[in-house]
Amino acid sequence: MKSKIVKALIACIIVLGVGFGGYYGYNKVFAKKAVTASVQYMTVTAKKTNLQVSVQGTGAAYAAVTKDVIPNNNGTLKDLTVKVGDTVTAGQKLFTSDSDDLRKTVTTAQNNLSKQNISLQADLDTQAAQAAQAAAAQTPQAGGQNGQSSGQSSAKVDDNKIAMDRLNVSDAKNQLSYANQQVAKMAVTAPIGGIVTVVNNSNGDSVQQSKAVLTIVDTSSMKVKVAVDELDIEKIKQGQKAEVKFDAIKDKTYEGSVETIAQTGTTSNNVTTYDVVVAIKDPSGIKLGMNANVNIQVESKDNALVIPSEAIIDRNGNKFVMVANSDSSSANSNGTNNAAQSNNQQNQSNNTQPSANGNGQGRNRSTQNGQGARNGAYGGAAYAGTSKQVQIKTGMENENYVEVTEGLTEGEKVLVQLPQASSTTNNNANRNNLGGFGAGGFGGGNMGVQRNQSGGNNTRKN
C-alpha cells in the first residue's frame, strides 16, 4: 500500500516538474522574443519639391436652378409632348391648359366692345343733328339769340355724354385685350432651358393653376455640396480652385471653384462638418445625383524644403528632428537610444489627441490616407551611426510631408524610426509607408494630399 502511494507522489512530482520547466522554457525562449524588438531607423534626405495642401470631400451633383412649371389657369391638359429626360430650351411650348371659360370671356368682351361702339356712334349722330338744328334757328332778332343760347346749352350736355361713351369704348377694348392674353397664356412655355426631371400629368387631365405639371432643371448650373470637417473649414476660402472627379465618369477631371461656405455646421457622432458648395465650370456629361470626389486646393508652394511628417518630434510646443552625422559609420548606442526615446515620445503624443467635445475619446488623426499615398520601400537596413537632435521651424504641411523653414538645409539626412515588428513578415509589411523618401531620398514632382471627409473619418498629422 505504501509502495503505491510513493509511486503516485513521484508521478505527481514528475508531472509538476515537467509543466514548470515547460512554462519557464517558453517564457525564456518565446515570450521574451515576442516583446523584444530592436529599434531601427532609416535616413531620409531633406529635398526641395512642389508642395500642395488640399482638402478632400465627397458629395453628389445637383442643379442650383430648378423650375416647377405650372399652368396659368385651371383647365384641361392638352398638347403635352415632353417626357422625363427630354432636353428643352427656354421659350419652347410644353403644353396647353385649355379652358372654355376663357374663350367665353373673349366672346363676351368682343360683344361688349361692339355695344359701346354702337352707343358712341348713336350719340355722335344725335349731337350732329342737334348742331344742324341750332344753326338753322339762328336769326338777327333777340329771339334768334335766345334760340342760339338754348342750342349751345343742349350741345354741351351731349359733349359730356359722348365723353363717357368714349371711356366705355376704351374700357371694352382693354377687357378684350386682357381676355385674349389669358387665352394665349393657355399655351405654357419653358421658363428655362434644361432637362425635364418630373412629369406629373397626362393629356386630358384636369390641371390647376397652383400645381406643377412638370419640373425642369438647368444642367448648366451643376454644383457639388461637400461636407468639410471643422478642423479644415478655416482653410477654405471663397474662389479657391477645386478638382472634381465622378465615379461614373472615368478619366476626366472637372474644374471647379468654391462658391459658398456654410456658417452653421452639422454635428453627427461628435463630428461637426460644414457644407461647402463647389461650382463646376463645364458640367457637360454630368448627370444629377452622380457621386463626386472633390479636392479643394487650399495652399501650394514651389521649391519647398520638405521632410516626411514621421521625422518630426513634438515636445512642449517645439519641433525637433534627429539629424544623422554623415561622418559616423559605427553604431552609437547613446545617439540611437536618444533618437528612439524621442521618437517613442512622439508616437505616444500622436496616438492620443483630445476630442473637440471633451469626452476624452478623441478622433483618429493618424495618417491613414497619407500612408496609402506613400507606398514604397524603406531601403532596408537599420541605421547605425550617431545623430543629434536639432530644433526646426515648419511652414506648410499636409498628411505626408512638412515644410521646414528653419533648422535644416537641403541634402541633410534626418532619422525616421521604422515601425517595430516581432516577425519578419510584419516588419516587411510595415516597410510600405514612406516610398517617396525610400533609400535616403524621395522622388520629385508635386507632393499633394487629400483629406478624407466622408464618414467622419478625419485624418491629419500635426
How do residues 277-300 score in pLDDT, each as one tens digit? 999 999 989 999 999 999 999 888
- Specify the pLDDT at position 36: 47
Mean pLDDT (whole number) for 36-40: 64
Final residue in a domain of this structure, among 185, 217, 245: 185
pTM of the model: 0.56
Task: Answer yes or no: is 126 within a domain.
Answer: yes
Task: Answer yes or no: is 338 within a domain.
Answer: yes
Task: Answer yes or no: is 372 within a domain.
Answer: yes
Residues 439 and 312 in one domain: yes
The SS3 assignment for 452 reads coil
Q: Can you tell me the distance from the alpha carbon of 227 to that of 246, in angstroms, rounded to the nearest whole number?
A: 16
Final residue in a domain of this structure, among 156, 185, 214: 185
- Specify the pLDDT at position 433: 46
Residues 444 and 338 in one domain: yes
Residues 174 and 306 in one domain: no
Number of domains in the chain: 2
Residues 166 and 308 in one domain: no
Residues 43 and 162 in one domain: no
Mean pLDDT (whole number) for 2-28: 61
Residues 48 and 108 in one domain: no
Q: Per-residue confidence at 319, pLDDT binned at 50, 70, 90? A: very high
For residue 334, the one-letter residue type is N
Question: Is the model's pLDDT at 30 over the cut of 50?
Answer: yes
Task: Answer yes or no: is 14 within a domain.
Answer: no
Angle between helices 142-184 and 100-136 (to 10 degrees): 170
The SS3 assignment for 192 reads coil
Identify the CA nearest to 276 among candidates 294, 303, 255.
294
Residues 309 and 434 in one domain: yes
Residues 307 and 442 in one domain: yes
Final residue in a domain of this structure, among 135, 169, 185: 185
What is the share, in percent, of the chain residues with pLDDT greater than 90? 52
Structural domain containing residue 132: 100-185
Residues 404 and 317 in one domain: yes
Q: What is the chain's alpha carbon radius of gyration, rounded to the nearest angstrom?
A: 45
Task: Answer yes or no: is 192 within a domain.
Answer: no
Q: Can you tell me the distance from the alpha carbon of 251 to that of 303, in angstroms, rounded to the nearest whole number?
A: 29
Between 237 and 382, name the one with better pLDDT: 237
CATH of the domain at 332: 2.40.420.20
